[in-house]
Amino acid sequence: MTVAAGLGYALIALGPAFSLFAGVVARKPFLVLTLLSSTLFWLMSLIVLSGIWRGFLPIKSGTWWAYAILIITSVALQEGTRLVFWRLYKKMEEMLDAFADRISKPRLSLTDKMLISFAGGLGHGVAHAVFFCLSLLTPAFGRATFYVERCSKMPFFLASALIALGFLVIHTFSMIIAFNAYDEKKKCDQIVVPVVHLAAAVMMLVNLAPGGCLIGTPLLLVMAVLTLQYCWRVACRRLTEHQHRQLNN
Amino acid sequence: MADAAAAVPGDPRDGPTVLDSLGEDITRIVYPVTTCMLLVVLLVSLLSSPSAPSPLAASIAATTGGGGVSGGGDDIPTALVTALTFVVAVTAATFLLALLFYLRCTPCLRAYLGFSALSVLLVLGGQVALLLLSRLRLPLDAVSFALLLPNAAGALALAALAPASVPIALHQAALVAIAVLTAFWFTLLPEWTTWALLVAMAIYDLAAVLLPGGPLRVLLRLAIERNEEIPALVYEARPVDPRHGRNWRLWREGGQPGASSTTVEVIGEVLGRNLDCNSGYSSSPQVHEVATSAGDANNSRPRATLAAALSSADSSIAQAEEVPVLQEHRVAVAEMRVPLIQPHPERYGEEEEDEDGIGLSSSGAIKLGLGDFIFYSVLVGRAAMYDYMTVYACYLAIIAGLGITLLLLAFFRKALPALPVSITLGVVFYVLTRTLLEEFVVQCSTNLLMF
């Protein structure tokens, strides 16, 4: 429905990401590079996934359990990618610290580490929004709109933009929680992140039912808000502890 | 929470950490490459007809019965022949360039550079402008157009060729404009020809720089011996950190036997080049002077390759003594610019020149030749003719290739071509996206199943 609608959908999916980028990530060039590399990682995991599943597509519409298996394998692979990303980040952190020592500058502070994990999460989220929503948005710039059969109350583009927004928030902030958990070795947080991801993805199965997208999309946004709130708690706790430790020293 | 909020911004105890300016070099070259690709994608989507409809567009537009434009009259043998001709012509032209450089014909090379920049902007720019005017239905009469076009073309050509006399932003914008126009022109070639050309140029670049008899290597050696500047179209990233006062950088001395730089140091040098070298570069500063060389561009498209040729001249040794004494270390890091000339195929009469290559300029910023810009944008523009998903995938692949090339440059410290890694990754990702990814994503998305 014209350029205005297309732009509107694109902004629904990526507006918050854009402002986060402009406000936080663009200030430090290293974060931009982190964002680009985590986007690349996510894309590579998606390509591997599609390689695995290519032989089984197209899935017949009646078999919802096939979709369930698809989702579970996808989430498992992406969580594996997160672990690999964490390992690479640890190596990079060592190199950066050694470099900082060599040029007599202070090492990475806690804020820096959180910023790096934030940029990484934002990269994942942006990759998700771009590949699942933005790349399919081209027809929306034309003259008409498109409705999927099972979701006759919301245009397809609107539904996918809202879902992309939800997942963007979830990816971004669960990366901060995850890196924090790996760093502090807190088992419960380490479990929370994959569980949240899986729950959000499984929730999308509701969309398979006729009219289900009216339930699935708001639920996903609620999930995103919950992730955001949890991340806020984790970050605050960590930063206050860090500050107290510094005051005591 | 107020405490945490107060503690969050900047951690005043620590001061500016190493994260503040790290990687700024790479970002300053990624942004213009991104802009060039973005402009080419925009032009392509506005002005070209699609090569083949993507699955989603086809499924949506099924009722209208539209779509399905085949890539008309274009097959693999023709494409291969065309690409081969191009590469042969480029090789010949590079040898010719080396010969001219050897004979010191600088004025004619310089004049040619100006002529080709002007012709790109005038002819191609005029063509694109006309297409845009007709596509967007903008009202502009012929007289105004005839007045505006030559003026704009002349001004931009001047800005591109005389960087010292115009603001650097204008100079960079003019270079990007030239690259965009040339890349857009290249995307007008038939599909298989474009892909064959890209792959052939990548292979040629690799061979020409790394093989002992390669033309670029010959030119490189000539340029090192001569220590000369070549006037060429090269994009120079803005000098970084003016508050640090200088844009010099320190390189480890290349001639040191057994001086193996660890990953840390190499990456540190690549990423942290613009950190203030006075702020306590504790280990003995090894000053390294890289010979500056520049290749003149000839009647074709010169392409320099990625090179950081190292050599020590007498002046660098003298400076090395002065280094502990002087407040400021002057490291002249030269750039290796090896133009690779590519004449156009016979059916097109245009000739232009740009330069390729990644190097380090005397002001310390990264320089990337215009030919690299052009071929990256051609790849992305061709991907845009299929669908936007391929555009995003190819963009990420090219940027990743660029980063890898920079790291390889820091490791090997010798002449390296800038095209092969990016083009290979770009083509691989294009193929993977088109065959595997698209079907998968469309399946999941149309069922509103995302993860």
CB A186 within 8 A of CB A178: no
pLDDT for res A76: 93
Tokens standing for residue A193: 């992140």
Please tell me which residue of chain B has the smallest CA distance to A200. Answer: B451
Share of chain B above pLDDT 90, in %: 27
What average pLDDT does range B105-122 have in this prediction?
86
Tokens standing for residue A100: 């900082």
CB B169 within 8 A of CB B52: no
Share of chain A above pLDDT 90, in %: 59
DSSP notation for A3-42: HHHHHHHHHHHHHHHHHHHHHTGGGSHHHHHHHHHHHHHH
CB contact under 8 A, B445 and A104: no
How much is the ipTM here? 0.92
Interface probe with B: pick from A9, A24, A33, A158, most Cβ of B within 10 Å: A33
Please tell me which residue of chain B has the smallest CA distance to A36. Answer: B396
Q: How far is CA B271 from CA A109, A118, B23, B72, B88, in A?
A: 19, 20, 4, 46, 37
Q: Which of B25, B296, B372, B387 is catalytic?
A: B372
Tokens standing for residue B115: 């002529």
Share of chain B above pLDDT 70, in %: 61
Longest dimension (CA), chain B: 78
Chain A positions in Cβ-Cβ contact with residue B27 (cut-off 8 Å): 29, 32-33
In chain A, where the domains are located: 3-53+61-86+116-242
Q: CA triplet A107, A113, A116: central angle to 5 degrees?
A: 120
Question: Which of A64-73, B156-165, B240-249 shows the lowest mean pLDDT across its residues?
Answer: B240-249
Report which listed range, B76-85, B229-238, B252-261, B365-374, is most confident: B76-85
Q: How far is A115 from chain B (nearest CA, A)?
A: 10
CB contact under 8 A, A167 and B450: yes
Chain B positions in Cβ-Cβ contact with residue A31 (cut-off 8 Å): 19
Computed from CA positions of residues B256, B258, B259, B260, in that sequence, does the dihedral angle turn out positive or negative? positive
Could you read off the pLDDT of A91-100 as tens digits, one per residue? 988 888 888 8
Helices (H), chain A: 2-23, 29-53, 64-102, 110-132, 156-184, 187-203, 213-248
What average pLDDT does range B194-201 have in this prediction?
93
pLDDT for res B208: 84
Closest CA to B304 of B90, B160, B35, B27: B90
A28 in contact with chain B, both atoms CB, cutoff 8 A = yes
pLDDT above 60: residue A212: yes
pLDDT for res A15: 94
pLDDT above 70: residue B303: no
A245 in contact with chain B, both atoms CB, cutoff 8 A = no
Chain A positions in Cβ-Cβ contact with residue B33 (cut-off 8 Å): none
Q: How confident is the model at residue B302 (pLDDT cuts 50, 70, 90)?
A: very low
Closest CA to B220 of B300, B290, B169, B280: B290
Tokens standing for residue B296: 């003149």
Q: How far is A61 from chain B (nearest CA, A)?
A: 9
**Which residues, numbered 13 to 32 in chain B, qualify as contacts with chain A under a Cβ-Cβ cut-off of 8 Å?**
13-24, 26-28, 30
Tokens standing for residue A24: 């936080």
Let me know if B269 is exposed, middle or buried by CB neighbors in 10 A (0-12, 13-18, 19+).
Answer: middle
Chain A positions in Cβ-Cβ contact with residue B439 (cut-off 8 Å): 50, 54, 57-58
**Which residues, numbered 105 to 164 in chain A, qualify as contacts with chain B under a Cβ-Cβ cut-off of 8 Å?**
105-112, 115-116, 128, 130-136, 138-139, 146, 148, 150-151, 156, 159-160, 163-164
pLDDT above 50: residue B359: yes
B75 classed as catalytic: no
Q: How confident is the model at residue B320 (pLDDT cuts 50, 70, 90)?
A: very low
For β-strands B358-360 and B234-236, DSSP reports them as unpaired
Could you read off the pLDDT of A133-150 as tens digits, one per residue? 988 888 888 888 888 888
- Output the average pLDDT for chain B: 69
What average pLDDT does range B287-304 have in this prediction?
33
A182 in contact with chain B, both atoms CB, cutoff 8 A = no
Question: Which of A9-18, A49-58, B34-43, B214-223 shows the lowest mean pLDDT across its residues?
Answer: B214-223
Size of interface A-B (CB pairs under 8 A): 213
Q: How confident is the model at residue B64 (pLDDT cuts 50, 70, 90)?
A: very low
Longest dimension (CA), chain A: 65
Q: How confident is the model at residue B141 (pLDDT cuts 50, 70, 90)?
A: very high
A74 in contact with chain B, both atoms CB, cutoff 8 A = yes
pLDDT for res B184: 93
Q: How far apart are CA B165 and CA B103, in angstroms?
A: 29
Tokens standing for residue A115: 């910023």
Find where tokens 């806020």 sit.
A232
Task: For residue B392, give the nearest of A30, A102, A131 by CB distance.
Answer: A131
A246 contact partners, CB below 8 Å, separation of at least 6:
B13
CB contact under 8 A, A103 and B272: yes
What average pLDDT does range B294-311 have in this prediction?
34
pLDDT above 60: residue A113: yes
Q: How far apart are CA B351 and CA B114, in angstroms?
A: 11
B205 classed as catalytic: yes
Could you read off the pLDDT of A79-88 as tens digits, one per residue? 999 999 999 9
pLDDT for res B307: 34
pLDDT for res B196: 93
Report which listed range, A59-68, A134-143, B105-114, B296-305, is most confident: A134-143
pLDDT for res B289: 30
pLDDT for res A1: 64
Q: How far apart are CA A95 and CA B263, in angstroms?
A: 8
Name the packing angle between helices B370-384 and B191-210 (round to 10°): 150
Exposure letters B79-101 (e unless 16+ CB within 10 A, then b): bbebbeebbebbbebbebbbebb
Per DSSP, the three-state class of B51 is coil
Q: How far apart are CA A160 and CA B14, in angstroms?
A: 43
Could you read off the pLDDT of B16-27 as tens digits, one per residue? 677 777 788 888
pTM of the model as a whole? 0.78
**Which residues, numbered 217 to 276 in chain B, qualify as contacts with chain A under a Cβ-Cβ cut-off of 8 Å?**
263-265, 267-268, 271-272, 275
CB A204 within 8 A of CB A224: no
Q: How confident is the model at residue B399 (pLDDT cuts 50, 70, 90)?
A: very high
Q: Tell which wins on pLDDT, A58 or B298.
A: A58
Residue B99 CA, chain-centre distance (Å), reads 25
Where do the DSSP E strands lie in B113-242?
234-236
pLDDT for res B357: 53
pLDDT for res B417: 85
CB B304 within 8 A of CB B359: yes
Question: Which of A211-215, B62-66, B333-337 shows the lowest mean pLDDT across its residues?
Answer: B333-337
Where do the DSSP E strands lie in B290-434?
358-360, 366-369
pLDDT for res B48: 75
Could you read off the pLDDT of B221-264 as tens digits, one per residue? 777 787 776 666 778 777 654 444 333 333 322 333 333 344 44
What average pLDDT does range A9-27 have in this prediction?
93
pLDDT for res B239: 64
pLDDT for res B321: 38
pLDDT for res B55: 54
Q: How confident is the model at residue A209 (pLDDT cuts 50, 70, 90)?
A: confident
B428 in contact with chain A, both atoms CB, cutoff 8 A = no
Q: How far is CA B408 from CA A104, B213, B272, B418, B439, in A?
A: 26, 22, 16, 10, 35
CB contact under 8 A, B18 and A46: no
| Beta-carbon-side half-sphere exposure of residue B245 (alpha carbons within 13 Å) | 8
CB contact under 8 A, A205 and B283: no
Question: Which of A18-22, B78-82, B351-355, B416-420 shows the lowest mean pLDDT across its residues?
Answer: B351-355
Chain A positions in Cβ-Cβ contact with residue B389 (cut-off 8 Å): 131, 135-136
CB contact under 8 A, A99 and B265: yes
Per DSSP, the three-state class of B441 is helix
